[in-house]
Amino acid sequence: MKKRISVIGAGTCGPETEALAERLGFLIAENGFDLVCGGRMGVQRAACRGAKTAGGRTVGILPGLDFAQANEFVDVPVITGLGHMRNFLVVKNGDAAVAVEGGAGTLSEIGLALKSGIPVVALGHWSGIEGVRPAKGADEAMDILKTLVNG
């Protein structure tokens, strides 16, 4: 089975964060990983768009019970009906997670990943959390993720 990287981050974001997430998604797919995310908008949509540009496969773990919630770049939408509690499934379905900015939902995913033994890389303000590996950009994040996932 292909290794997977979970991308977590803001449901809405500005153009700078969007470009960062898109570059990250592209690199994830280019390096042979599947991308897992919450499947909706913002960072999730941008990362999926980047992954699709590189020919990758994307999985969206959706909060509701409607496949139509998924952004147009999700290959495999997974409905849960769990709302925010789906955050656990987003991180547990990755071999590592990478946080791109975000708010309280992203923070919950970081905590769930760390408690589950899943390594976390952060781009942006979450990089100061104990146990989280900081990265200065998408390329550095990808280098760290490859080391974490491939040993």
Average pLDDT score over residue span 25-49:
98
pLDDT for 90 equals: 98
What whole-number percentage of the chain has pLDDT above 90? 97
Average pLDDT score over residue span 111-139:
96
Phi, psi of 82 (to 5 degrees): -100, -5
pLDDT for 151 equals: 74
Residue 15 burial class via C-beta count within 10 angstroms: exposed 0-12, middle 13-18, buried 19 and up: exposed
Contact 13, 42 (CB under 8 A): yes
Each residue's pLDDT tens digit, 110-124: 999 999 999 999 998
pTM (two decimals): 0.96
Alpha helices (runs of H) in 32-134, residue ranges in sequence order: 43-53, 87-92, 104-115
Residue 109 burial class via C-beta count within 10 angstroms: exposed 0-12, middle 13-18, buried 19 and up: buried
pLDDT for 83 equals: 96
- 66 sits in which H/E element: none
Contact 37, 7 (CB under 8 A): yes
pLDDT for 1 equals: 85
Complete domains list, the chain, with CATH: 4-150 (3.40.50.450)
pLDDT for 53 equals: 98
